[in-house]
Amino acid sequence: MPIYTTPATTPTRSAYAIALTRRKHADGRAFLFAITIAVSSVLLVATLAPSAVHAQGGGGGGGGGAPATAPAASTNIKRLLDKSDPLEFLLDRKKPLELTRAVEDSLKLLRKEMQRMQEVVYKDLDKASTVKEQGQLPSPTVVFSMTKESEERVKDIQSAYRDRARALLSPGQTQQADSLEVIWKRGLPRAEPLPVKRPPPLD
């Protein structure tokens, strides 16, 4: 016996199928819309992030300042000359030199005073190397000249405080400090350029 479908049941099934299809399409569009919003948000953040970093690092006025991550002109000489601190040398060897507590305290005070004077030189150099004239920063040659001058100033400061520190030592301690200093200076980093290799002789 053939299955008989009444006219009343056919429209009901069609309406249910149409409603189900429409719901699937609506869910699909909602999912695509959510994905689009998420991707747009990521792209917006990626676009604005470099601008924010540039705004934080740039200088005032014309907006053409150096980035915040630019190394200071005093970085290299500070790295080298901080290691040649003559007062830190004595304090690190207080046991073999048999320094008294009074001498040790005096050396610490001298060292703080010396460091303050060195920092003034470093700040002056960094300020001078970032001053613009007619919208232009100093040339590398000028910055190099200023750096060498500042390096000599710091060396003079260290030499003067070395003499003041040695005046606090006894003759025996001074002689022993001189011997230890010879060995210590051999291990200090040097600022001289590497020797240039000569080309092989032509046959």
Statement to judge: residues 83 and 180 lie in one domain? yes
Statement to judge: residues 19 and 91 lie in one domain? no
| In-domain check, residue 6 | no
Statement to judge: residues 80 and 179 lie in one domain? yes
Domain count, the chain: 2
pLDDT for the residue 192:
46
Statement to judge: residues 127 and 37 lie in one domain? no
Residue 16 lies in domain: 11-56
pLDDT in tens, 136-171: 888 889 999 999 999 999 999 999 999 999 999 999
pTM for the complete prediction? 0.58
Buried b (16+ CB within 10 A) or exposed e, 28-45: eeeeeeeeeeeeeeeeee
Of 201, 112, 102, the C-alpha closest to 157 is: 112
For tokens 């320094």, name the residue: 99
Statement to judge: residues 24 and 104 lie in one domain? no
pLDDT in tens, 180-202: 999 888 877 665 443 444 555 66
Statement to judge: residues 29 and 94 lie in one domain? no
Statement to judge: residues 104 and 162 lie in one domain? yes
| In-domain check, residue 82 | yes
pLDDT for the residue 134:
79
| In-domain check, residue 24 | yes
pLDDT in tens, 89-143: 999 999 999 999 999 999 999 999 999 999 999 999 999 988 888 788 888 899 9
Angle at 65 between CA 63 and CA 71, to 5 degrees: 155
Statement to judge: residues 182 and 118 lie in one domain? yes
| In-domain check, residue 196 | no
Statement to judge: residues 31 and 92 lie in one domain? no
Q: Which segments within the chain are labelled E, that is strand? A: none
Alpha-carbon distance 178 to 184, whole Å?
10
Statement to judge: residues 151 and 87 lie in one domain? yes
Contact indicator for 177, 90 with CB cutoff of 8 Å: yes
More confident residue, 72 or 166: 166
| In-domain check, residue 163 | yes
55 pLDDT more than 50: no
**What letter represents residue 65's amino acid?**
G
| In-domain check, residue 5 | no
More confident residue, 111 or 68: 111
Statement to judge: residues 102 and 178 lie in one domain? yes
pLDDT for the residue 113:
97
| In-domain check, residue 102 | yes
Statement to judge: residues 134 and 48 lie in one domain? no
